[in-house]
Amino acid sequence: MDMRTSRLAIIAVIAVTAVVLPCVANAAGFEITPFAGYTWGGQFSDSMTNANLNVKETNNYGIMLDINQDPQSQIELYFSNQSTQLHASQGVFTGHPLFNLDIQYYHIGGTYSPSDPGKIRGFLAGSLGATHMVPQGPGLDSLTKFSLSLGGGVKLYVTDHIGFRLEGRWFGTLFDGSGSAFCANGACAINVQGSLFSQFVANAGLIIAF
């Protein structure tokens, strides 16, 4: 995916967000959920060196906005950030971080609860959007790709306006199968081989309902 396509990914997410946010004012209700969690997984295969480059598992944080559509479904805006490191799993630099890396997800999707509304509600979640990767090495370019997520969890309501949300999600970021990533001055840190970058997250958040 080239720079033009990456920019289109960000523009698409911003455009959809601009359309959805005004719905909050007219919605029957909505929820804001700041959360913290933990992220596992994430691996690149370098086609030039045949080395596997692994993302270190670390904490993440973010916020979700859920807009009620009916008693069982919501439109959801999702943002998260993981500050981590990229490590080589083999070779001379095994175990040493190549550079620090921020991985951010900007998604829109929805949740569906198959059960009737109550104090305890199980739900399924799915979303589409962009993964924005920001390397911290000198002059390295950021990277933006299309991504999707699937997951589920449970909401536990203490009152009509306060509750807790526990969930697990899989995020899949789509690559073109090959190409360079994290470049600076014509030199690139990785020559990616493969079409899917996968991560798994577990989140816990405080629901504030209106």
Mean pLDDT along residues 80-94: 75
Q: pLDDT tens digit string along 18-55?
A: 555 555 445 458 899 999 999 998 888 777 777 788 89
Residue 62 vs residue 190, higher pLDDT: 62
Fold of 3-209: Porin (2.40.160)
Mean pLDDT along residues 137-156: 90
Round the average pLDDT of the chain to a whole number and report it.
82
Tokens 């997984």 found at? 41
Cβ neighbourhood burial of 101 (10 Å; 0-12, 13-18, 19+):
buried
Tokens 């690149």 found at? 44
Task: For the chain, give every domain's residue range.
Answer: 3-209
* pLDDT confidence bin for 3, thresholds 50/70/90: very low
Residue 89 vs residue 78, higher pLDDT: 78
Query: Which amino acid makes up residue 53?
Result: L
Closest among 137, 162, 132 to 147, alpha carbons compared:
132
Residue pair 90/53 in contact (Cβ under 8 Å)? The answer is: no
- Predicted local confidence at residue 79, as pLDDT: 97
Structure tokens that stand for 85 in this block: 């490191």
Residue 166 has pLDDT above 90, yes or no: yes
Q: Is the dihedral of CA 65, 7, 86, 169 positive or negative?
A: positive
- The proportion of the chain whose per-residue pLDDT surpasses 90, expressed as a percent, equals 48
